[in-house]
Structures are given as C-alpha cells and as structure tokens.
Amino acid sequence: MLKKITISMAEFRVVHNPCILESIGIGSCAVICLFDRKRKIAGMAHAMLPDSKQAVADVNPLRFVDKAVDVMLSSMHSLGCKNTEIRAKIIGGAEMFRSILTTSHVSENNIKAAREKLEKEGIRIVAEEVGGNQGRSVWFDTETGDVVVGRIHGPTIEI
Amino acid sequence: MYQAIQLTDIQKDALREVATICIGSTSISLSKMIQGKIDVNISGVHIVPINRVSHKINNPNELVTGIYSRISGDINGASLLILPGKTAHSIVDILNGRTPGTTKRIEEMGKSALTEVGSILTGSYLNALSKFLDIKINFSVPSIVSDLGSAIVYVVLLHISLKADSSLVMQTSFSGSGEGFKAQEKVAGSFVLLLDQRSMHHLIASIDKRIDE
C-alpha cells in the first residue's frame, strides 16, 4: 500500500517518492496535479479562488489558483524539473448551489484561471475533469501519474 | 484590517451558551415537525483559519445534505445546517407521510420539502440569536445540496474568504427520533454558523455587553 497524503484546501505538496496524494471533497475549488514523468516528481495543490489580486485582506496566498501554481512550480524547479516536461491535470470547479449568484462564477473562473496560468507557464494540460454540479474527490498516484476521480452520485473514473 | 481574535474562556463559554440557546429553539421547531423528541448536544466554538474549517465540522467526508443561507445585517457570513444523508431522507419521508426509510435519493420534491425545513430551522436559530444579542440578522432563502461535507463547506465559505483569513465556527448538534422511527433511523444533524472577522468582533462585543449586564 502506498502512503496517502491528504491535501486540504489552501495546501500543496510536491513529492519525489511514490505515494498517493489525495484531496477529498472538492466543490467549486480547483485541484491541480502536476507530474514530471522523467524525474518522477509530482505535485498537487488545492485552491479555492481564482486570482490572488482579488484579495482585500491579508489572506493565505495558497488559497488562490495562481499563487498555488507558483509555489508548486518553484518547489518542482528546485528539484530540477522543467516546465516543458511537466504535464498537468485539472479537477474541480463544480457549481454545487446553482441558485447562488455570487458564487456562480467562481467555479468557472477557478478552472479558467488554472488553464490560463498553466498556459502562461508553458505546461501542457493532458486531462480535465471539471464543471458539473457535484463535488469530487481525487487520488493522484505519483508513481504512474494516474489520477482517479470519484463523485458521490456517480462513477469513479480515471483521467 | 482587523486584529486576529483570541477568545477568552468567558467569551467562549458565553458563545457556547448562546449557541445552545439557539439550537434549543431550532430543536423545538424540528421536534414539532417530526412529532418526536430531539436532544441537543454539546456545542463547539472555534476560530479557525478558513482552510481548516472542514476539519471542525462533523462528517466532512460523508454524504450529507447541506442547507445554506447567507447572513447579512449586523453580522455577515453564512449558516449551514448539515443533515447526514439518512436524516435528510427520513425527514423527507415524514413530511410526505411515508414510513421513514422509504426515500433513498433526494429528488426535486424532497429538495423543496427540505428547503422548507431548512428555512424554518435556520429561521428559528437566527431569530433566537438576533433576539438574545439584540442584533439585526437577515438571511437568504436557503439553497440545498447533497454532497461530501467538506465540499459543501468550502463553497459556503467562498463569499467570506476574500475578506477574512479565519472564520468563527459555532457548531451545535442534535439527535432524536420520532414516531414510526426504527432505531437506526435516528435524526441527527448540526448547525454551523460561519462569520467573517468584522462580524466576529460585532458578535463578541454584543456578548461582552450581555456578560456585563
């Protein structure tokens, strides 16, 4: 059994050893999985909001997609990874309460922000499991790069 | 910018007391609805960083039904009534005059029944809070969703998360059963009040005023 490491909201982890990075209960949040197959280095971040420039108070920067990707990348760079060799998978961005106007664009914007940020960094997105109206849970096998996504009212799939 | 808040023991006790009074009012409404007996359990009061809120709620990794209202007025935040999957199903059955245990999945009819229940329970909690502390509280028509507890909490926290690094989490739980309930169909749930920094200050100031009286 591989060791499991749970990534909660506003957390990230970059690992070199084979393990399972998991994130349970992702609603409108975005989870970004990065994988360097050659070096077997993997990272996962769980962010809640799209853009750190929106913050009006001194809040934890890891809550934002752009900053979370930044810190994860700098940690991967320090281990010798190059952006051109990193592949990404994005999960989340569900619109759970459809009647709430104020949150209705956050889910969408989280995914948009993740795509834009990764494109800007020159990282290829190889899979996405986003949108819809159900929460998800993610398990990332850092040995193979496989990502398994589970939903409460639906099948568990591999992306 | 507001200072990070540290609650004193007296303030914590007072908040716990307030939460218990409010949930008491909620449980009376619920026991009338299901014509059964509801017990109120211990309340937890914490100030936690937003990313740790899901660690403080009951059932973060289980299927629950979340009934969410936005709170505005003198305090700003959200209330979340969390009903474990089975409880939500039992309540739908009771309201529809069926034997508890019939409903397996919540459909549109069930949703609208639960929204109604949520509205009444949220209303009784917040009215009690508003009266007891003499503060003005408005709340929105509840929205409802069934999913993992932690997924629901973070969506609910979204609108205070830009302005606050931590949130006040007041959680009270209840359990009970009613007529026609089998032992395994007990009703249980918890009510969580989440507030931003400014509201925490306001709430604590109102509590301090009550303590002084």
DSSP A92-121: E-----TT-TTTTTHHHHHHHHHHHHHHHT
Look over chain B and give the mean of its residue pLDDT values, rounded to a whole number. 82
Q: Are B153 and A96 in contact (CB under 8 A)?
A: no
Which residues of A does the annotation mark as catalytic? 29
Residues B5-49: pLDDT tens digits?
A: 678 888 888 888 888 888 888 888 888 877 778 787 766 788 888
- pLDDT of B99 > 70? The answer is yes
Chain B, nearest residue to A62 by Cα: B51
- Please state the rounded mean pLDDT for residues B80-94: 85
Any idea what the Cα angle at residue B66 is, between residues B24 and B189, rounded to 5°?
35
Residues B137-151: pLDDT tens digits?
A: 999 888 888 888 888
- pLDDT of A155 > 90? The answer is no
Residues A71-99: pLDDT tens digits?
A: 999 999 999 999 999 999 999 999 887 66
B197 to chain A, any CB pair closer than 8 A? The answer is yes
**What is the model's pTM?**
0.83
Write out the two tokens for B8.
């004193």
SS3 annotation, A49-70: ECCHHHCCCCCCHHHEHHHHHH
* B162 contacts in chain A (CB < 8 Å): 49, 54-57, 59
Any idea what the Cα angle at residue B148 is, between residues B45 and B62, rounded to 5°?
80
- Contact at CB, A135 and B52, closer than 8 angstroms: no
pLDDT at A99: 60
Q: Are B54 and A25 in contact (CB under 8 A)?
A: yes
d(CA B150, CA B55): 8
Write out the two tokens for B121.
């329970």
pLDDT at B114: 87
* B150 contacts in chain A (CB < 8 Å): 24-25
Look over chain A and give the mean of its residue pLDDT values, rounded to a whole number. 90
- pLDDT of B1 > 50? The answer is no
Chain A, nearest residue to B153 by Cα: A27
State the nearest Cα–Cα gap between B36 and chain A, in angstroms. Answer: 30
Residue in A10, A27, A94 closest to B51 by CB: A10
CA distances A80 to A71, A118, B42, B192, Å, are 15, 18, 51, 45
Query: Of chain B residues 59-98, which have a CB less than 8 A from chain A?
Result: 60-61, 63, 68, 70
d(CA B130, CA A100): 24
* B148 contacts in chain A (CB < 8 Å): 24-25, 135, 137, 152
* B146 contacts in chain A (CB < 8 Å): 152-153
B150 to chain A, any CB pair closer than 8 A? The answer is yes
Better-scored residue on pLDDT, B170 or A156: A156
Half-sphere exposure of A42 (CA within 13 A, CB side): 23
- Contact at CB, A10 and B148, closer than 8 angstroms: no
pLDDT at B2: 46
- pLDDT of B203 > 90? The answer is no
Residues A13-45: pLDDT tens digits?
A: 999 989 999 999 898 899 999 999 999 999 999
